Amino acid sequence: MRDIVLITGGGRGIGAATARLAAARGYDVVINYRSNAETAAAVVRDIEQAGGRGLAVKGDMAKEEDVEALFKAVDSFGPLKHFVYNSGVTGKNSRFESVSTQTLRDNVDINLMGAFFCARAAIPRLSTKHGKQGGSMVFLGSVQSKLGAAGEYVWYAATKSGVDALVTGLSKELAGEGIRVNCVSPGPIDTEIHEPGRLARIAHQLPSGRVGRPEEVAEAILFLISDAASYTSGTILTVSGAR
C-alpha cells in the first residue's frame, strides 16, 4: 500500500513538481488548489500515469473551513502519512510604506495562518499520541526569511520567518509522537509567484548565475519525507544556489 502525501498549492510550480515526483517515487498524492482546476487536473493525470492514486481538492488555505474540508477529503482517500504546506503569496513588489493592507492580510492569512490551520489539522492524523502511525510535515519557507526582501516584499519575508519558528517549535513538540517537522527554504525559483521580469533581472546577481527549477526543490522535499531522513527533524534545508 502506498503512503499518502498531501500537498497544498499542488496545482502549479513547486507543489506540482513535488506531486509528480512523489508519484514517481511510489506515493499516492492529494493536492490542493485554490482556483485553477485545469492545472490541478493535469497534475492528477500525471500522478495516475505514474502509477499512483491522485486527488485534487479545491480550497483556500486562508479559510479555516476550507482546511477542514480538505483534511476530511484526505480522510476519505486514506490515512495521511506526509503533509507538505506549499501555499504562498507575495503580492505586488514595493517598499513597505506603499504596501496595501489587503496584501499584508493576504500574506499573513495564506503564508502563516494557513500553515497554522493545516498543522493543527495534520497533527491528530499523524501523531502516535492520537493513535496514528506517525509521519512527517514539510513547510515551504524562503531564504528571504533571513535576507529580508528589502524593497520588494518585506512582509512576505516576515511571514516566512514565522514559518521557520513554527517548524522549530513543532519539531520539538512532536518529536516523541512519531512526527518529523522540517522546512525547505528556496531561493529564487522559476515559478509564477514572481512578478514578470524579476527572475531575469536578478539571475546574474546570484552566486550560481541562475535561478532554480521547481524540480530541484521537489527533490529536497521528497528527501525530507523519505526514510532516508528518519533522524532529520527541525531542520531548515536551504535550496538557493548559494544565495
Average of per-residue pLDDT across 104-122 = 98
Average of per-residue pLDDT across 91-116 = 98
Residues 114-124: pLDDT tens digits? 999 999 999 99
203: CATH: 3.40.50.720
Find the catalytic residue in 33, 85, 156, 231: 156
> Where in the sequence is the domain holding 162, given as residue range(s)?
4-239
pLDDT beyond 90 at 204: no
Distance from C-alpha of 81 to C-alpha of 231, rounded to nearest angstrom: 16
Measured at the alpha carbon of residue 125, what is the angle toward residues 123 and 126, in degrees to the nearest 5? Answer: 70
Q: What is the mean pLDDT of the chain?
A: 96
CB–CB of 136/181 below 8 Å? yes
Instruction: Give percent of the chain with pLDDT exceeding 70.
Output: 100
pLDDT beyond 80 at 195: no
Considering the entire predicted model, what is its pTM?
0.96
Count of structural domains within the chain: 1
- Pick from 96-105, 171-180, 192-201: least confident: 192-201
- DSSP lists the bridge partners of residue 189 as 212
Average of per-residue pLDDT across 66-88 = 98
* Pairwise pLDDT comparison (19 vs 193), residue with the higher score: 19
- Pick from 5-9, 57-61, 195-199, 234-238: least confident: 195-199
Average of per-residue pLDDT across 185-206 = 86
CB–CB of 33/111 below 8 Å? no
State yes or no: is 27 an active-site residue: no
Q: Is the dihedral of CA 33, 37, 38, 42 positive or negative?
A: positive
Q: What pLDDT does 80 receive? A: 98
Average of per-residue pLDDT across 47-60 = 98
Q: What pLDDT does 97 receive? A: 98
Q: What pLDDT does 63 receive? A: 98
Q: What pLDDT does 104 receive? A: 98
Task: Please name the amino acid found at residue 38.
Answer: E
Instruction: Give percent of the chain with pLDDT exceeding 90.
Output: 91
Tell me how crowded residue 141 is: count the other CB atoms within 10 A of its CB: 28
Which residues are CB-contacts of 71 (< 8 A; sequence separation ≥ 6)?
6, 80, 118, 121, 122, 125
Which residues are CB-contacts of 173 (< 8 A; sequence separation ≥ 6)?
none
Report residue 170 as a C-alpha cell: 513543532
CB–CB of 103/111 below 8 Å? no
